Chains A and B, each alone.
Chain A
Amino acid sequence: MRKYITDFTIVEKKTYNDTYFSMKLRHPETLPSIAAGQFVEVEVPGNKHVMLRRPISIHDVDTVANTLTLLVQVVGKGTRTLSMLNEGDKLNLVYPLGHGFSIEGGKVLLVGGGAGIAPLLHLSKCFKAKGIQPTILLGGRTKSLIPIQKEFEPYGNVYFATEDGSLGEKGFVTQHTMFSTNYDHIYTCGPTPMMKAVARFAMQNNIECEVSLENMMACGIGACLCCVVDSDEGHKCVCKEGPVFNAKRLTNWINK
């Protein structure tokens, strides 16, 4: 899949709270095909303390309007600088990067936690396009940390789990009543302990499972070898061989 380096314009910005914001970015030309789970490397403009690009997953794609949307969690100086950009500002992207999720049929469960919810919207839409209605289970510490809720409703049956019970069931996603062996495929993105728990459960119950990792990166294209995961076949670049991996390739990582 060909990769590009190009300028986008921010056409819409939403700030959900202190932690989350989203940016819809438009390109003047037709977008290439973008798989759910792929990501972009964003240049961070206007902060001399930020040199490297930041990897951010693709939240949504509109191939008619030529836009893609990034849902971003503010975690450090790079994302904080991005949060201060406004509509009309330009943003340089290297994209689309990495391998996305497979879109396999049967009974499908999507499990997202925190910022890991981001790629699941595009993924839900890809399932819908194939006539599959997934069960979507979204979790977070508290309601405000699940910034996107109703956006998922057209694409599946949506459930929530929060640690304080402020939205949906109280507890972790893995304790939710919808988290069961009743699926053929589980797709997950979120905090590492959550993904490991989901993947362990899936492996124990012979359910196909794909996880989307989020390691620190420099280049995003498999050149610097900084973002490796200790896979069952040795160190693999999350940027190039991932970020989505079949859990079967990561038993080392899951059990560590």
Chain B
Amino acid sequence: MLETKIHNLNLKNPVMTASGTFGYGEEFADFIDLNRLGGIIVKGTTGERRQGNPYPRMAETPSGMLNAVGLQNVGVETFCKEVYHRIKDLDTNIIVNVSGSSIEEYCKTAAMIDELDKIPAIELNISCPNVKKGGMGFGVNPEMAAQVVSEVRKIYHKTLIVKLTPNVTNIVEIAKAVEGAGADSVSLINTLLGMAIDVEKQRPYLSTITGGLSGPAVKPVAVRMVWQVAHAVSIPVIGLGGIASAADALEFLMAGAKAIQVGTANFIDPAVTIKIIDGLEDYCKRHGINDINDIIGII
């Protein structure tokens, strides 16, 4: 009933977890059966180990939060040697979010992940707002976005998802550019660039001054962008941004997303993904829907 497909990936259901909000999955194993998920996008992985930005890295804002983690991760070599072996036997799609500061770095990481049998896809992150060099720099310019995707496409042979930033004038233009460069799917949206100030201390809450806004506050923006992109490209769209319930997920599916990712809501309820899966099943039963694909893109 809930099965769906992203390029060559078969998903048990459309519910995946967003990179940077779900660790390597292991952190949530006490709370949920990870094998019930449609997929897990593990944290952003770069060519070398990264320390990320200085503390403080987060601030709660109305219906959302700002973060400025800055891609702290163990690096692709440690991922392949250690982390991969701990998670590879999970019965779900394990997808690695590949981040970087240069085309060479993206390609190095993607090539190493390509060698891992149990990783059927990567999500190319050209949209992180929290690193000084690269990241979002690629995702805000159609030519640069196309260039990094086409270079990675040459060396990466499995499903290539490209994660887009909302911090652009026209996201459709970027989506079309990466589709033309060989992306198999796009996921959107990454966080919206934001800022918050502690007026008592008279300084920004984040060490980096600005950071990425996520949570329910960004959901209407994300639904709008998913709807625009889904009508403009032929590759499948994965929707994310503030999803915390089955109803939220359904909005994205109806707007045209073939699958969705749950992010910030994992911090509030570590079992929320399972509630969303159960809620989607319940919705289908109540509405006499035999195949979730029947409601995808109906708007």
Please measure, in the bound complex, the distance between the C-alpha atom of A7 and the C-alpha atom of B43, giving whole angstroms: 30
Is B52 in contact with A52, judged by CB distance below 8 angstroms? no
Is A228 in contact with B72, judged by CB distance below 8 angstroms? yes
Which of A94, A221, A226, A230 makes the CB contact (< 8 A) with B58? A226
Type the 1/0 row for B200-228, where 1 means its CB is closer than 8 Å to any CB of A: 00000000000000011000000000000
Is A94 in contact with B270, judged by CB distance below 8 angstroms? yes
Given A218-B58, A230-B54, A235-B51, decide whether A223 and B267 contact each other with a Cβ distance below 8 A.
yes
Is B55 in contact with A222, judged by CB distance below 8 angstroms? no
Is A223 in contact with B69, judged by CB distance below 8 angstroms? no
Is B30 in contact with A228, judged by CB distance below 8 angstroms? no
Is B268 an interface residue when CB atoms closer than 8 A count as contact? yes
Within 8 A of A (CB), among B1-58: 20-23, 27-28, 30-31, 43, 51-52, 54-58
Residue numbers in A under 8 Å from B267 (CB-CB):
52-53, 218-220, 223-224
Is B22 in contact with A223, judged by CB distance below 8 angstroms? yes
Which of A51, A225, A230 makes the CB contact (< 8 A) with B60? A51
Interface footprint category on A: 20 to 34
Which of B59, B67, B268 counts the most A-chain CB atoms under 10 A from its CB?
A: B268
Residue numbers in B under 8 Å from A150 (CB-CB):
none
Give the B interface residue count (CB, 8 A): 34
Is B140 an interface residue when CB atoms closer than 8 A count as contact? no
Within 8 A of B (CB), among A4-50: 4-5, 43, 48-50
Is B52 in contact with A4, judged by CB distance below 8 angstroms? no
Please measure, in the bound complex, the distance between the C-alpha atom of A221 and the C-alpha atom of B31, giving whole angstroms: 11
Please measure, in the bound complex, the distance between the C-alpha atom of A196 and the C-alpha atom of B56, giving whole angstroms: 18
Within 8 A of B (CB), among A197-244: 215-230, 234-235, 240
Please measure, in the bound complex, the distance between the C-alpha atom of A122 and the C-alpha atom of B75, giving whole angstroms: 39
Please measure, in the bound complex, the distance between the C-alpha atom of A4 and the C-alpha atom of B69, giving whole angstroms: 26
Residue numbers in A under 8 Å from B54 (CB-CB):
230
Is A107 an interface residue when CB atoms closer than 8 A count as contact? no
Residue numbers in B under 8 Å from A226 (CB-CB):
56-58, 67, 69
Type the 1/0 row for B49-86, where 1 means its CB is closer than 8 Å to any CB of A: 00110111111101111010100100000000000000
Is B69 in contact with A51, judged by CB distance below 8 angstroms? no
Is B91 an interface residue when CB atoms closer than 8 A count as contact? no
Residue numbers in B under 8 Å from A2 (CB-CB):
30
Given A52-B268, A94-B270, A219-B267, decide whether A224 and B62 contact each other with a Cβ distance below 8 A.
no
Is B62 in contact with A49, judged by CB distance below 8 angstroms? yes
Q: How far is the CB of A227 from chain B (nearest CB, A)?
A: 7
Is B55 in contact with A225, judged by CB distance below 8 angstroms? no
Residue numbers in B under 8 Å from A48 (CB-CB):
63
Please measure, in the bound complex, the distance between the C-alpha atom of A225 and the C-alpha atom of B63, giving whole angstroms: 20
Residue numbers in A under 8 Å from B63 (CB-CB):
48, 51
Is A50 in contact with B55, judged by CB distance below 8 angstroms? no
Q: How far is the CB of A151 from chain B (nearest CB, A)?
A: 32
Is B269 an interface residue when CB atoms closer than 8 A count as contact? yes
Is A222 in contact with B64, judged by CB distance below 8 angstroms? no
Is A249 an interface residue when CB atoms closer than 8 A count as contact? no
Q: How far is the CB of B79 from chain A (nearest CB, A)?
A: 15
Q: How far is the CB of B203 from chain A (nearest CB, A)?
A: 14
Residue numbers in B under 8 Å from A219 (CB-CB):
21, 27, 266-267, 270
A interface list, Cβ under 8 A from B:
2-5, 43, 48-53, 94, 215-230, 234-235, 240
What are 12 sample pairs from A and B whose C-beta atoms fall under 8 A apart? A3-B31, A51-B65, A52-B60, A215-B55, A221-B270, A222-B23, A223-B28, A225-B57, A225-B72, A227-B55, A228-B55, A228-B72
